[in-house]
Every structure is written in C-alpha cells, then in structure tokens.
Amino acid sequence: EAQVTQNPRYLITVTGKKLTVTCSQNMNHEYMSWYRQDPGLGLRQIYYSMNVEVTDKGDVPEGYKVSRKEKRNFPLILESPSPNQTSLYFCASRWDSALPDTQYFGPGTRLTVL
Amino acid sequence: AQSVTQLDSQVPVFEEAPVELRCNYSSSVSVYLFWYVQYPNQGLQLLLKYLSGSTLVKGINGFEAEFNKSQTSFHLRKPSVHISDTAEYFCAVSESGYDYKLSFGAGTTVTVRA
C-alpha cells in the first residue's frame, strides 16, 4: 500500500531531551516536507527537501533539524525541545519537486513537551 | 508570497443540507489550488485540486469547487452533507516557483448534525 508513515504517533517528553520523529514513504517521491499544525493557524511548513541531500527551511524552522540521506526517509530532529514545540506534526511527500501536485500526508505525531 | 484566508472557522450544518466553505487567496503569480480534509484523529487527504483547465473541479465524496481568478477564490461546495462529512477542511495554495510550496488556510471545522 502506498503510504507515508510516521513514528511515534504520540510522544510526551521533557524540555531539553533530544528526540527524533521518523518519516518514511514508499512511493519513490522526490519531495518531502514537515508541517506543524496548531489550532487557528492551519499547517505551517517547517522544512522541506527537494531530493536526497537537498533540504531547506520552511516558514517555522527554528528549533528543528532535518536530514535526507535516503530518498524514502526524512526524519525531524528536535535537539532541545521546548514547550512551544508542543504540536501536531505531519510529514508529507510529493512525486515531483518541479511540479505542483498532490501531497500525501502521514497520520501525524502528537508531541507534548513538558 | 501567497496567503490563504478561510472565511469561516466553524460551520454547523444539518444532515442533507448544502454546505459552502469559502476560501480566498492572494498571490501575484500563477497558483494551483487544493482542498484537503482531516477526519478526527487522522492525517490530511486530498478532496480535490485545480491545476489547469476547467475552473469547476469535482472531487471525492460529492464535493466540488470553483476557481474564480477575478475574485481570487476557490470555494468548496457539497449539495447534501452526511454525518460522515464532519471534519476539518483546509484550503491550500501552491504558487509557481522553486518548490511549489503549499500554503494552508487556518481551516474550517464542519459539524454535521442529524
């Protein structure tokens, strides 16, 4: 089944404890992206990747890191999480980086930072 | 840079009644338009999209939307809703450019009551 998977789905952690949220897609998509969803703000892009080893900042990149060593994986890293990073996170992918088209979303990761 | 405004944050509607969700955008270049739906505790899935061609587009589950370039709008409609249409709906715009970044509106919560 074609899909975007994220792990974990739920995570409660404490301020300053490094964490990684994994994202994997099995559709051979070039483009991958991370979003955070907050009430009343919709989804905001954190980072995106046009292809392997090509990543760039989105609208709200502060406090986050990403890497794209393989085409299928795009992990999101929080080196020192803070309470304002409590949010619902979505990974998404798209077939072609150079064309506008449907993005496919993962199921989401709900993160709480205490 | 584009921005997306969803004019209604909450839309309560009775079962079998019609519904319209309003979306306006601002952009100085060519745009591509999407509506996504998020059912409770799930990720986002595509309802419909406008990339080119006919300005009236039909999507899944009986939804349709019309692209109006002069009014910079992309309103979503369904003639008769079901309880199962209860969800949050997001309008999104992709602008011509380097990465065809997707920008989202704040979302409209539709609650269908019997």
Q: What is the pLDDT of residues B32-47, one digit of tens each?
A: 999 999 998 889 999 9
Distance in angstroms (rounded) separating the CA atoms of residues B4 and A17: 35
Name the phi and psi angles at B61, rounded to 5: 60, 30
Give the three-class secondary structure for A83: helix
Q: Cβ separation of B43 and A105 shorter than 8 Å?
A: yes
The yes-or-no verdict on residue B80 having pLDDT over 80 is yes
Residue bearing tokens 């306006």: B24
Task: Give the closest residue to A70 by CA, choosing from A97, A30, A114.
Answer: A30
Q: pLDDT tier at A1 (50, 70, 90 boundaries)?
A: confident
For chain A, the average pLDDT equals: 95
How far apart are the CA of B99 and the nearest CA of chain A, in angstroms? 6
Q: How many CB atoms lie within 10 A of CB B40?
A: 7
Please say if the pLDDT value at position B98 is more than 80: no
Q: What is d(CA A57, CA A55) in angstroms, rounded to the nearest whole number? A: 7
Q: What band does A32 get if pLDDT is binned at 50, 70 and 90?
A: very high
- Rounded CA separation B105/A43 (Å): 8
Q: Token pair 């998404």 is at which residue?
A: A92
| Chain B contact for A101 (CB, 8 A cutoff) | yes
Residue B99 has pLDDT above 90, yes or no: no
pLDDT at residue B86 tops 70: yes
State mean pLDDT over A28-39.
Answer: 95
**Would you say A100 and B100 are in contact if contact means Cβ atoms under 8 Å apart?**
yes
Q: Identify the CA nearest to B4 among candidates B63, B62, B90.
A: B90
Q: What is the pLDDT of residues A76-112, one digit of tens each?
A: 999 999 999 999 999 999 998 878 888 999 999 999 9
Nearest CA-CA distance, residue A16 and chain B, Å = 27
